[in-house]
């Protein structure tokens, strides 16, 4: 009755209730069996008993699988099997007079304080005993593994189920071994004690209460990963989402250090703060994922810290979007190199570095020759393709540390750290040759363009602003255009 009241709260209340009903039928039949010392009367109530006893093994196994969350096994084929076996043994008892394969004979034992049934054990009786024993053994193993493996909020309930299972298994083993005198059937006493244990658990411990069940469901259904560790960062529990984010975590990880199982988290393991930690990256195959981690202390009722809850959130999409937005803010949309604002920011930092360490750098101003003619004759789409081609050519001939940016329509600027006048001249001529030799194909036409370059160098020995350096490089570039184009000029 208690299980039926709680049925709406938990799926395993159903097998729990059916198990209690089957045990009740079994105990009820046995109570009538020992009332009279008549073989016919005894066999009548033996048959009644088996309307409950035949199904105890099936209900017990169903309950253990449901309670320990082995849902993948609870398929229609499973129920057909276990209840088909139960029905087979029930029919065997009901038709025993026809084959005597369950009980070879039935008599009365008058040696004890009251009369009990004495019977011969046929092959079907032995098979039924093996079926019960197998159900109890498997259930006990499931409860033990569940109790050891998971340090969840249902651990107290797991312990209750384990105690009930071990008690039943022990009692059944003693009875099967023939250690109980006077042919007394200990089964009804065992199931009655189990009923008292479970009734106490429901009323006092909350075996089927909704609160811990709801917390467990929420824990498992959370989109964020949660890993629970003790104060030494030893893994105690984790939910399904955490296992999805961190494939290296499995049931075998329980009891191991979090930083050992997931080496990527070692730095976060050593960080004792409870604040948000910067996102970390994890490479799985060819894909890179970004995760945000938060650590929260787990506080017991006496206000004592007993563990840590690690919340793991997949922020890959947000991180990529942020990086994309940052790229839009810093990169030139057409060419993909730094835009004017970002280039100026980086150039100012280079000036500060040069003034501090007195290491030279070069500012190079570049303008495409007769670019307006390209736009006017071939159109702006052709002009855009030319800009992209020229940018790619220049990018391929400079270093990764060089700061290349688009300053205006067809105007570019490059900062060359650690490069003086002679090296700058060599690089500039390489760029002139690379651009002029590059043939651009647009709408079936071959286009050749050239560039003019102005150069100024700076060694940090005097106070100089970025604007002054750019002005000097621009003046040198205009001098290159005035004196013939497709050439390099140095600032005076």
pLDDT one-digit tens code per residue, 80-116: 999 999 999 999 999 999 999 998 988 777 776 667 7
Q: List the chain domain ranges.
A: 2-213, 222-320, 331-490
Q: What is the pLDDT of residue 210?
A: 47
Task: Return the higher-pLDDT residue of 329 and 336.
Answer: 336
The winner for highest mean pLDDT among 55-59, 206-210, 302-306 is 55-59
Q: What is the pLDDT of residue 257?
A: 85
370-388: buried (b, 16+ CB within 10 Å) or exposed (e) per residue?
ebeebbeebeeebbebbbe
Return the structure tokens found at 401: 């540390």
Q: What is the pLDDT of residue 165?
A: 79
Q: What is the pLDDT of residue 37?
A: 65
Q: How confident is the model at residue 63 (pLDDT cuts 50, 70, 90)?
A: confident
Q: How far apart are CA 310 and CA 294, in angstroms?
A: 6
Q: Is the pLDDT score of 265 beyond 80?
A: no
Tokens 């009740």 correspond to what residue? 24
What does the pLDDT average to over 109-135? 84
Among the listed ranges 245-254, 295-304, 446-455, which one has the minimum average pLDDT value? Answer: 295-304
Beta bridge partners of 133: none
Q: What is the pLDDT of residue 488?
A: 95
Fold of the CATH domain 331-490: Alpha-Beta Plaits (3.30.70)
Q: Is the pLDDT score of 78 beyond 60?
A: yes
Q: Cβ contacts of residue 8 below 8 Å, gap of 6+? A: none
Structure confidence by residue, pLDDT tens digits, 401-429 = 999 999 988 999 999 999 989 999 999 99
Q: What is the pLDDT of residue 279?
A: 67
CA 154 to centroid of chain Cα atoms: 21
Q: How confident is the model at residue 346 (pLDDT cuts 50, 70, 90)?
A: very high
Q: Is the pLDDT score of 45 beyond 60?
A: yes
Phi, psi angles (nearest 5°) of residue 401: -85, -10
Q: Is the pLDDT score of 29 beyond 80?
A: yes
Q: What is the pLDDT of residue 440?
A: 86
What does the pLDDT average to over 204-228? 63
The winner for highest mean pLDDT among 13-22, 144-153, 361-370 is 361-370
Task: Return the higher-pLDDT residue of 395 and 317.
Answer: 395
Q: How far apart are CA 181 and CA 174, in angstroms?
A: 11
Q: What is the pLDDT of residue 455?
A: 96
Percent of the chain with pLDDT over 70: 83
Return the structure tokens found at 131: 């079926």
Q: Is the pLDDT score of 6 beyond 50?
A: no
Q: Is the pLDDT score of 261 beyond 50?
A: yes
Q: How confident is the model at residue 2 (pLDDT cuts 50, 70, 90)?
A: very low
What does the pLDDT average to over 167-173? 81
Positive or negative: CA dihedral 132, 134, 137, 138: negative
Q: How confident is the model at residue 140 (pLDDT cuts 50, 70, 90)?
A: confident
Residue 84: count of CB within 10 angstroms of its CB: 10
> What's the CATH code, domain 222-320?
3.30.450.20
- Helix, strand, coil % over all residues of the chain, rounded to 5: 55, 20, 25
Task: Return the higher-pLDDT residue of 213 and 356.
Answer: 356
Q: How confident is the model at residue 272 (pLDDT cuts 50, 70, 90)?
A: low
């Amino acid at each position: 009755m208690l299980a039926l009241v709680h049925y709406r709260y938990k799926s395993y209340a159903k097998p729990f209730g059916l198990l209690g009903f089957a045990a009740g039928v079994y105990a009820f039949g046995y109570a009538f069996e020992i009332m009279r010392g008549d073989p016919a009367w005894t066999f009548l109530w033996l048959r009644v008993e088996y309307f409950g006893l035949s199904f105890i093994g099936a209900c017990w196994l169903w309950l253990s699988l449901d309670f320990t969350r082995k849902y993948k096994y609870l398929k229609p084929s499973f129920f057909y099997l276990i209840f088909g076996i139960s029905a087979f043994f029930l029919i065997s008892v009901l038709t025993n007079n026809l084959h005597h394969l369950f009980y070879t004979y039935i008599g009365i034992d008058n040696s004890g304080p009251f009369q009990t049934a004495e019977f011969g054990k046929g092959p079907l009786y032995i098979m039924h005993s093996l079926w019960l024993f197998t159900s109890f053994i498997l259930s006990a193993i499931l409860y033990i593994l569940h109790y050891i493996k998971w340090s969840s909020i249902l651990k107290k309930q797991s312990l209750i189920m384990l105690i009930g299972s071990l008690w039943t298994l022990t009692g059944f083993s003693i009875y099967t071994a023939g250690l109980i005198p006077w042919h007394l059937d200990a089964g009804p006493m065992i199931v009655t004690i189990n009923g008292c244990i479970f009734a106490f658990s429901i009323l006092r411990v909350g075996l089927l209460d909704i609160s811990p069940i709801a917390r467990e469901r929420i824990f498992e259904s959370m989109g964020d990963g949660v890993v629970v560790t003790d104060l030494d960062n030893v893994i105690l529990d984790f939910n399904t989402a955490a296992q999805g984010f961190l494939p290296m975590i499995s049931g075998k990880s329980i009891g191991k250090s979090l930083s050992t199982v997931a080496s990527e988290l070692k730095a976060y393991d050593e960080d004792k703060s409870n604040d948000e930690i910067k996102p970390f990256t994890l490479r799985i195959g060819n894909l890179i994922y970004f995760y945000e981690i938060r650590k929260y202390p787990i506080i017991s009722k006496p206000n004592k810290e007993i563990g840590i809850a690690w919340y793991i959130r997949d922020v890959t999409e947000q991180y990529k979007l942020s990086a994309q937005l940052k790229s839009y803010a810093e990169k030139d949309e057409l060419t993909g190199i730094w835009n004017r604002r970002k280039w100026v920011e980086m150039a100012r930092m280079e000036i500060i570095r040069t003034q501090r360490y007195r290491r030279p750098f070069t500012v190079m101003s570049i303008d495409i020759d007769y670019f307006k003619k390209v736009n006017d004759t071939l159109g702006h789409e052709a002009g855009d393709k030319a800009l992209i081609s020229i940018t790619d050519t220049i990018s391929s001939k400079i270093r990764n540390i060089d700061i290349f940016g688009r300053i205006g329509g067809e105007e570019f600027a490059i900062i060359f750290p650690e490069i003086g006048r002679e090296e700058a001249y060599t690089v500039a001529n390489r760029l002139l040759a690379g651009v002029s030799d590059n043939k651009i194909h647009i709408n079936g036409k071959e286009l050749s363009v050239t560039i003019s370059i102005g150069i100024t160098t700076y060694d940090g020995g005097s106070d100089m602003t970025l604007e002054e350096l750019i002005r000097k490089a621009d003046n040198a570039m205009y001098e290159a255009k005035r004196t013939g184009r497709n050439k390099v000029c140095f600032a005076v």
